[in-house]
Amino acid sequence: MGECREVWVFIEHQDGRIADVSLELLTKARELADRLQGAVAALLLGHGVAELAEIAIHHGADVVFVADHPELTPYRTLPYARVAIELVREYKPYILLLGATPVGRDLAPRIASACWAGLTADCTALQIGDVQRSGETYTELLYQIRPAFGGNVIATIVNPEMHPQMATVREGVMQLGAPDPTRSGEVLTVEPQFEEGDLALQVVDRSLRLPTCDLKGASVIVAGGAGVGSKENFGLIYDLAEVLGGEVAASRAAVDAGFVSHEHQVGQTGTTVRPRLYVACGISGAVQHRAGMDQSSKIIAINSDPNAPIFQIAHYKIVGDLNEVIPAMIDALRGSPE
Ligand code: FAD
C-alpha cells in the first residue's frame, strides 16, 4: 500500500452477499481516495468469504484484506475487533468507514477507542476539506457531516490529529456506483491471532427476521405522517400505495404513534429512499424526515397547512385534508366517474 493515504471500508456480508451499505461506502471511498490521490482498502472478515474480494475490487477497492477463519462466523464483537484493531494499528489508514448497521455500530466504537480515534455516527455526507484552528491549517481532512442538536444544525465534524478519521453511514445515504468488472486489485491474506478471551462468547442460536417491505428498492412510495390520525386511517395510505403500485412508508411520528412498524420509517433514523415518486401525506417535513427522502425524483405533498415545510421541497403541493384528497386521488387513478 506504500505511503499513500488510505480510505478503508469495513465490508459486511450475509449469505455470501456483500451488504449494499458496504458497496455504497466503497463507491464513496473511491471518490474520497481519488481526491486524496490515495488508495481504497476493504476489510473482509468471515469464513468462506474470499470470493467476495473480487466484488469489493469491482466496486472500487485497490486492496482487500481477507481474514478467513471459522471463528469469524457468525459475527462476534471481540474476534472482529481483534482483527480490525491489529490491522488498523499496523497499516494506519487515514479514514475508516463502516455501515451504521447493528454490526457497524458495535464494531466502530471498539476500534475508535482502541486507536484513540474520533468517530462520527450516522453521517449524511462525507467530503475532503481544509480546517483552520488555533492558527494552524489542517489540510485534506474528512468532513463528517450530519444533523445535530435535534436537526437544528447540520454539523461538520473533523478529527485533525488522531487517525483514522472514522465515520458510520446508514444504508442508502451514499449512492451506489456501478461495478467495473475490469478493475483489478490486490488481495492480502490475514492470519488472525486470537487470545483466549476473544472467543469467550459462544453463539448458541441465531434467528434472522427478514424485512417485510423494500423501501430502498421501491420506485413509488406513499408515506403517511401523524396527520393521518390513527392506525385505522393508515389504511388510506395502503390503499393509495396499492393503486400506485408502491410501498408504504411513514414518518417517525406515525411510527411512534403505532400506526405502522419501524421498518416503514423514512428519515435520519429510518431508511433513506430515492424513489421516482414520493407521496407525503400528513407529514410536516421536519429536517430529519427530509434527510431520508429529499433525493426523490418527484415529491407530491398533501397537507392541510399551507405553510408546512414539506411544501418547500415538494414538486406538487396539495393543500387540503388528506381524508378528502386521498380518496379523490384513488378514484381518479381507478378511473371512477366521481
Ligand atoms: P407532525 O410534525 O406532527 O406533522 C403532521 C402534519 O400533518 C402537519 O404538517 C399537519 O399540518 C398535517 N396534517 C394534520 N392533519 C392533516 C389532515 N387531515 N390532512 C392533511 N394534513 C394534515 N422523523 C422522521 O420522520 N424520520 C426520522 O428518521 C426521524 N429521525 C429523527 C431523529 C432525531 C434525532 C430527532 C430528534 C427526530 C427525528 N424525527 C424523525 C422526528 C422529526 O423531528 C419529526 O418530529 C417527525 O418527522 C414529525 O412527523 P410528522 O411530520 O408525521 O408529524
| DSSP codes joined into one string, 42-65 | EEEEESS-TTHHHHHHHTT-SEEE
Calculate how far, in angstroms, residue 94's C-alpha sits from the geometric centre of ligand 1: 38
* Cβ of 211 less than 6 Å from ligand 1: no
Q: Is residue 331 part of a domain?
A: yes
- All residues at 6 or more sequence positions from 309 whose CB lies less than 8 Å from its CB, including other chains: 284, 285, 286, 290
Strand 6-11, strand 95-99: pairing: parallel
pLDDT of residue 313: 97
User: Considering 165, 199, 233, which residue would you say is the last residue of a domain?
Assistant: 199
pLDDT of residue 3: 62
Q: Are 13 and 53 in contact (CB under 8 A)?
A: no
pLDDT of residue 88: 97
284 CA closest ligand 1 atom index: 9
Which domain covers residue 273, as residue numbers?
Answer: 220-335
* Cβ of 233 less than 6 Å from ligand 1: no
Q: Is residue 206 part of a domain?
A: no
Q: Is residue 204 part of a domain?
A: no
pLDDT of residue 210: 82
Residue 59 and residue 26 share a domain: yes
Residue 34 and residue 157 share a domain: yes
* Cβ of 101 less than 6 Å from ligand 1: no
Q: Is residue 175 part of a domain?
A: yes
User: Considering 199, 232, 267, which residue would you say is the last residue of a domain?
Assistant: 199
The CATH number of the domain where 83 resides is what?
A: 3.40.50.620
Q: Is residue 254 part of a domain?
A: yes
pLDDT of residue 151: 74
The label of the residue with cell 455470501 reads 16
CA neighbours closer than 13 Å in the CB half-sphere of residue 315: 12
Calculate how far, in angstroms, residue 305's C-alpha sits from the geometric centre of ligand 1: 13
User: Considering 144, 168, 199, which residue would you say is the last residue of a domain?
Assistant: 199
Q: Is residue 215 part of a domain?
A: no
226 CA closest ligand 1 atom index: 52
Residue 181 and residue 269 share a domain: no
Residue 320 and residue 245 share a domain: yes
pLDDT of residue 96: 98
* Cβ of 291 less than 6 Å from ligand 1: no
Residue 303: count of CB within 10 angstroms of its CB: 26
User: Is residue 192 left, alpha or beta, with left meaning phi > 0 and alpha meaning psi from -120 to 50?
Assistant: beta
Residue 242 and residue 130 share a domain: no
Residue 91 and residue 191 share a domain: yes
CA neighbours closer than 13 Å in the CB half-sphere of residue 61: 28
The conformation of residue 313, written as its DSSP 8-state character, comes to T
pLDDT tens-digit readout, 286-308? 999 999 999 999 999 999 999 99
The conformation of residue 226, written as its DSSP 8-state character, comes to G
Residue 46 and residue 173 share a domain: yes
Q: How many domains does the chain have?
A: 2
H-helix or E-strand spanning residue 107: helix 102-114
Residue 187 and residue 297 share a domain: no
Residue 178 and residue 308 share a domain: no
- All residues at 6 or more sequence positions from 144 whose CB lies less than 8 Å from its CB, including other chains: 120, 123, 126, 156, 157, 158, 159, 165, 167
Residue 61 and residue 168 share a domain: yes
Q: Is residue 185 part of a domain?
A: yes
Calculate how far, in angstroms, residue 290's C-alpha sits from the geometric centre of ligand 1: 10
pLDDT of residue 126: 98
Q: Is residue 238 part of a domain?
A: yes
- Residues of the chain predicted below pLDDT 70: 1-3, 336-338
Residue 272 and residue 152 share a domain: no
pLDDT of residue 2: 46
Residue 262 and residue 191 share a domain: no
Calculate how far, in angstroms, residue 69's C-alpha sits from the geometric centre of ligand 1: 46
The CATH number of the domain where 224 resides is what?
A: 3.40.50.1220
The label of the residue with cell 474520533 reads 118
pLDDT of residue 337: 56
